[in-house]
């Protein structure tokens, strides 16, 4: 099981020097991946912890790609219906190219009504808009020449498509994973809650004759109880989680972040030994 960590691209932790220091600390700790969140329009009543300050996830990862060497860079998750297809796919291809193919693309349909209203997007169409974007993603990374709105165009650069992980819970997320994704990205790290849907996903993939999807679980661990944390990681691996991403909470400085990253890396090493 690969291990990653969330770096906060929002709130006071998204100040440039701290953001970069945390990304480098995660890389030095030996973690496989670094993940950022996505919000575009936080209303004042929901701004606790961030004060409405969010860096764009793809811009953030492009910046961090230039300042790291090995660690993979993930969106957890990029909300597709917030964005127009072609410019977004160009962003994705550009980050993948400039990072030397280190991008891990988690995607989702979104949920916050205020953001959809601010963007002028019909929330009731978020599933259909997401599927249309995923169809376009598949086409653009399959051929240099594609067609958008009846217009042929060249989609270049066209690096290797980044692994695509579909976020969310419930039947629609599993269906979208099987149709478009390399894996499923549920929120939460409770092995009991995840065991049944992971088994369902695996059975359906086998019935379709397709590769077993990855499972990227993003959630918390009891950082003050190392034995429990190791046991939880072991249980997640046993039920089919292939990547675990630690949500870091409101760390105050790079040292607090570094401790979490190093603890996670050490627990992972113990798990594989």
| Domain that includes residue 170, residue range | 2-272
Integer-rounded Cα radius of gyration of the chain:
18
Segment (H or E) for 176: helix 170-180
Q: Of 120, 89, 116, 121, which Cα lies nearest the Cα of 105?
A: 89
Cα separations in angstroms, 84 against 73, 187, 228, 242: 22, 25, 43, 31
Number of independent structural domains in the chain: 1
We report the CATH number of the domain holding residue 96 as: 3.20.20.30
- Going residue by residue through the chain, which has 273 residues, state the pLDDT in tens, using 9 for 90 and above: 999 999 999 999 999 999 999 999 999 999 999 999 999 999 999 999 999 999 999 999 999 999 999 999 999 999 999 999 999 999 999 999 999 999 999 999 999 999 999 999 999 999 999 999 999 999 999 999 999 999 999 999 999 999 999 999 999 999 999 999 999 999 999 999 999 999 999 999 999 999 999 999 999 999 999 999 999 999 999 999 999 999 988 999 999 999 999 999 999 888 876
Nearest-angstrom CA–CA distance, 192 and 182: 23
Q: How many CA atoms lie within 13 A of 170 on its CB side?
A: 5
């Amino acid at each position: 099981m690969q291990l990653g960590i969330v770096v906060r691209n929002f709130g006071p932790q998204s100040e440039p020097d701290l953001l970069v220091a945390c990304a480098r600390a995660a890389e030095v700790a030996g973690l496989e991946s670094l993940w950022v969140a996505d919000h575009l329009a936080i209303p004042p009543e929901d701004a606790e912890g961030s004060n409405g300050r969010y860096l764009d996830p793809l811009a953030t990862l492009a910046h961090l790609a230039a300042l790291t060497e090995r660690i993979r860079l993930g969106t957890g998750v990029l909300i597709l219906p917030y964005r127009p297809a072609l410019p977004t796919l160009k962003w994705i291809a550009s980050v993948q190219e400039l990072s030397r193919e280190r991008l891990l693309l988690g995607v989702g349909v979104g949920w916050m009504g205020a953001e959809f209203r601010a963007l002028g997007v019909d929330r009731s169409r978020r599933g259909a808009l997401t599927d249309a974007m995923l169809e376009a993603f598949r086409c653009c990374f399959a051929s240099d020449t594609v067609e958008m709105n009846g217009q042929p165009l060249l989609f270049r650069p066209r690096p290797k498509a980044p692994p695509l992980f579909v976020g969310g819970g419930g039947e629609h997320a599993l269906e979208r994973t099987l149709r478009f994704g390399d894996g499923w990205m549920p929120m939460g790290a409770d092995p009991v809650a995840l065991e049944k849907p992971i088994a369902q996903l695996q059975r359906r993939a086998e019935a379709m004759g397709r590769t077993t999807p990855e499972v990227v679980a993003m959630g918390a661990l009891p950082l003050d109880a190392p034995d429990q944390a190791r046991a939880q990681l072991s249980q997640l691996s046993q039920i089919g989680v292939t990547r675990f991403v630690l949500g870091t909470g409101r760390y105050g400085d790079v040292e607090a972040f570094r401790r979490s990253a190093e603890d996670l890396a050490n627990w992972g090493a113990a798990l594989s030994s």
